[in-house]
Amino acid sequence: MAQLPVDLRERDSELRSLQGELVLLMAQQARRIPLQRYLTSVLMAVLLCFYVNPLLPLLWLVAVVAVVAMRTHTVLLLPEDRSRSDERKLGLAAALFWASGAVQALVVLFFPVVPVLIGAIVTIYVVGVCSATIQSTAGYRRICLPYVLVMMGPVGLVWTLTTVGDVGVVERMLFAGLILVYITTMLSHARGVFGVFMESYNIRQQREDLNRKLRSALGNAETANRAKTRFLASASHDLRQPIHALSLFSGSLLLRPMDARTSAIAEQIDKAVKSLASQLDALLDISRLDAGVIERSISSIDLSALLAQLMEEFQPQAERKGLRLTWHGPAGGQVRSDPMLLQRILRNLLSNAIKYTDSGRVELVVEPRGDKIRIGVADTGPGIPEAEQERIFEEFYQLQNPERDRSKGLGLGLAIVRRLTELLDIELLLSSAPGSGSCFSVDIPVARSEGKPVVAPEPQAGPSWRHIQVLVIDDEEAIRLGMQTLLEEMGFSVAVASSTEAAIDQARRFQPSIVLADFRLCGQDNGILAIRSLRMVWPELPALLISGDTAPDRLREARDAGVELLHKPVNATALRESILKAVNE
């Protein structure tokens, strides 16, 4: 028997036409029915050989096997036949079924010469074949009606017209009537089977339509998300450039002697620049998390030291708003997580709680829970409606800030918290109701004793920066001038260049201790290329990349290059410490 070129159970992603589905169903059924049909036909032929010339049943058996085999072979190949339409395929299948039915119905020719019991067995054989055909064709009327008539009609006629043993006329008429009722019932059953098939087909068609719409919506969402990422990266880069220059000049100004009035103005400018830089850093954090360039470093953490550090950091902010910042729970204990990332999670939660609480208190709550410690940040703020409790973790979504108060940030804090908890594989919980405040909590695994615990490191003062020569590469004149002014105010020797070629020329006259290269330069030039070119002249030359680009691809590229990446605007203190760290490693 021929095999299908493909497994028919593997459906196309697109639903076939109704006729195509019928052809497919018949092909699937054709793989299972022939063996049963051959076996029953052989048994029937053997039985008839006891009552008639054996040659006649054998000829009938050969004809049945030949026509059923031809029908099976052809129907199996129909689903993959590209030369015929589905309508023509169904027509061919119907003709094959009629032909096979007519050949199998020839068995009634033996009816007049066999005992009545054998005639009854012949009738059962024909009825069984008809019943199986209804299932294998889904009751399709174009096939079932002619097939049933071709098979059952002759049986009814021979019972009516032929004298069978001592069966009387009345009995024969009653039996013929029963056959007529059976034919009617079978055709009614066929209509019901086809109705179920149609309903199933319509349901699958609706499902496919929904799947297509879902795929389209998913594709649109992914396209929108990529566009959003590109927009944020581009906008962030373009905004960071002038802010970076402003930060450099502001930092330089603060290093110069000034009178009290000028000093106060300079400090306010620096404060405004840092506030804007903080909001841009939130965009950067989202990009870095989406790019997968943040890696966790799990270790034991001294929980008391970590929470004490957070209390000290946020106490002044809480006092300025008239809030009480308290810590409830046992002192001491160690947990196991990434100290920097865990501190960032708790810092964001505390910052949010203080921002959105106008009166009352904010609490750090520590609660041992078996092999975990739950750390919660509870407040007496306005609370969060249940319908909004999932949305607050979306990017840029903020409750109760329709005027977009800049002091409440960009709405990225909780989005960052969720991404960080997923990175650390810890559970983030929220309990809140309008008017009852909110409590965000995380469950951190308890650490086993395995060495000295750590907390997130504080910036350390570096060694003296005298005699350090810095080569700055940036294609924007304002940035070069700002960097040179700031670094010279710090006491570094500075040379500037606008491209890789200019940097190599500078390096011939000015031996750099470290290179600060902008990630993006003019044309195809870039900071990674500049650093690699300079290291061909000065091997092992320390280098830092500085960029306002937050696109995930750029972040991965910088990480793969193995060069530390600083993001614009760079704080003066952070810049100095990064230089000292790189030079003295």
Q: What is the average pLDDT across 537-554?
A: 77
Q: Say yes or no to pLDDT of 5 above 60.
A: no
Residue 222 lies in a domain: no
Q: How far apart are alpha carbons 436 and 431 in whole angstroms? A: 10
Q: Are residues 431 and 480 in the same domain?
A: no
Residue 497 lies in a domain: yes
Q: Are residues 344 and 409 in the same domain?
A: yes
Q: Say yes or no to pLDDT of 276 above 80.
A: no
User: What is the predicted pLDDT for the residue at 154?
Assistant: 85
User: Which of 167, 198, 218 is the last residue in one of the domains?
Assistant: 167
Residue 280 lies in a domain: no
Single-letter residue type at 81? D
Q: Are residues 428 and 487 in the same domain?
A: no
Q: What is the average pLDDT across 321-347?
A: 81
Where does the pLDDT of residue 3 fall: very low under 50, low under 70, confident under 90, or very high at 90 and above?
Answer: very low
List b or e across 468-491, with b for residues whose CB sees 16 or more CB atoms inside 10 angstroms.
Answer: bebbbbbbbeebbbbbbbbbebbe
Q: Are residues 46 and 159 in the same domain?
A: yes
Q: Which residue has the higher pLDDT, 133 or 7?
A: 133
Closest CA to 438 of 503, 475, 384, 485: 384
How high is the mean pLDDT of the chain? 77
Taking residue 285's Cβ as centre, other Cβ atoms within 10 Å add up to 21
Q: Say yes or no to pLDDT of 79 above 50.
A: yes
Number of domains in the chain: 3
Residue 204 Cα to chain centre, angstroms: 24
List b or e across 215-235, with b for residues whose CB sees 16 or more CB atoms inside 10 angstroms.
Answer: eeeeeeeeeeeeeebeebbee
Contacts of 81 (CB under 8 A, 6+ apart): 89
Q: Are residues 437 and 479 in the same domain?
A: no
Q: Say yes or no to pLDDT of 478 above 50.
A: yes
3-state secondary structure of 202: helix
Where does the pLDDT of residue 55 fall: very low under 50, low under 70, confident under 90, or very high at 90 and above?
Answer: very high
Q: What is the DSSP string of 344-413?
A: HHHHHHHHHHHHH--SSEEEEEEEEETTEEEEEEEE-S----GGGTTGGGSTT--SS-TT--GGG-SS-H
User: Which of 167, 200, 224 is the last residue in one of the domains?
Assistant: 167
Q: Tokens standing for 274?
A: 């840092």
User: What is the predicted pLDDT for the residue at 59?
Assistant: 93
Q: Tokens standing for 408?
A: 């409440």
Q: Say yes or no to pLDDT of 458 above 70.
A: no
Q: Tokens standing for 378?
A: 């509870």
CATH number for position 405:
3.30.565.10
Where does the pLDDT of residue 294 fall: very low under 50, low under 70, confident under 90, or very high at 90 and above?
Answer: low
Q: How far apart are alpha carbons 135 and 144 in whole angstroms? A: 10
Chain segment 374-389, per-residue pLDDT in tens:
888 888 888 878 777 6
Asked if 496 and 472 touch (Cβ cutoff 8 Å), the reply is yes
User: What is the predicted pLDDT for the residue at 404?
Assistant: 46
Residue 214 Cα to chain centre, angstroms: 13
Single-letter residue type at 562? G
Asked if 97 and 149 touch (Cβ cutoff 8 Å), the reply is no
Q: Tokens standing for 498?
A: 């606008």
Q: Are strands 428-432 and 372-379 parallel, antiparallel or unpaired?
A: unpaired
Q: Are residues 66 and 98 in the same domain?
A: yes
Q: Are residues 499 and 382 in the same domain?
A: no
User: What is the predicted pLDDT for the residue at 1?
Assistant: 38
Radius of gyration in angstroms for the set of CA atoms belonging to the chain, rounded to a whole number: 42
CATH number for position 545:
3.40.50.2300
Eight-state DSSP code of residue 446: B
Chain segment 398-456, per-residue pLDDT in tens:
655 544 444 455 556 677 788 888 877 888 888 888 878 888 888 888 877 555 554 44
Instruction: Residue count of the chain, please give it.
Output: 585
Cis check for the bond before 79: say yes or no (omega within 30 of 0). Answer: no
Helix or strand (DSSP H, E) at 438: strand 438-445
Chain segment 181-215, per-residue pLDDT in tens:
888 888 888 888 888 888 888 888 888 888 888 88
Q: Are residues 352 and 489 in the same domain?
A: no
Residue 248 lies in a domain: no
User: What is the predicted pLDDT for the residue at 91?
Assistant: 84
Q: How far apart are alpha carbons 138 and 49 in whole angstroms? A: 35
Asked if 130 and 147 touch (Cβ cutoff 8 Å), the reply is yes
Residue 238 lies in a domain: no
Q: Which residue has the higher pLDDT, 416 or 468?
A: 468
Please give the residue range of the domain that contains residue 87.
18-167
Contacts of 214 (CB under 8 A, 6+ apart): none
Q: Are residues 509 and 411 in the same domain?
A: no
Q: Which residue has the higher pLDDT, 402 or 304?
A: 304
Q: Which residue has the higher pLDDT, 394 or 222?
A: 222
Residue 227 lies in a domain: no
User: Which of 137, 167, 197 is the last residue in one of the domains?
Assistant: 167
Residue 82 lies in a domain: yes
Q: How far apart are alpha carbons 554 and 557 in whole angstroms? A: 5
Q: Are residues 412 and 303 in the same domain?
A: yes
Closest CA to 292 of 557, 16, 15: 557
Q: Are residues 66 and 150 in the same domain?
A: yes
Residue 210 Cα to chain centre, angstroms: 18
Contacts of 508 (CB under 8 A, 6+ apart): 537
3-state secondary structure of 448: coil
3-state secondary structure of 454: strand
Q: How far apart are alpha carbons 183 and 186 in whole angstroms? A: 5
Q: How far apart are alpha carbons 253 and 546 in whole angstroms? A: 21
Task: Give 459-502 as a 3 state SS string.
Answer: CCCCCCCCCCEEEEECCCHHHHHHHHHHHHHHCCEEEEECCHHH
Residue 423 lies in a domain: yes
Q: What is the average pLDDT across 357-367?
A: 86
Q: Say yes or no to pLDDT of 10 above 50.
A: no
Q: Are residues 535 and 411 in the same domain?
A: no
Chain segment 120-154, per-residue pLDDT in tens:
888 888 888 888 777 778 778 888 888 888 888 88
pTM exceeding 0.75 = no
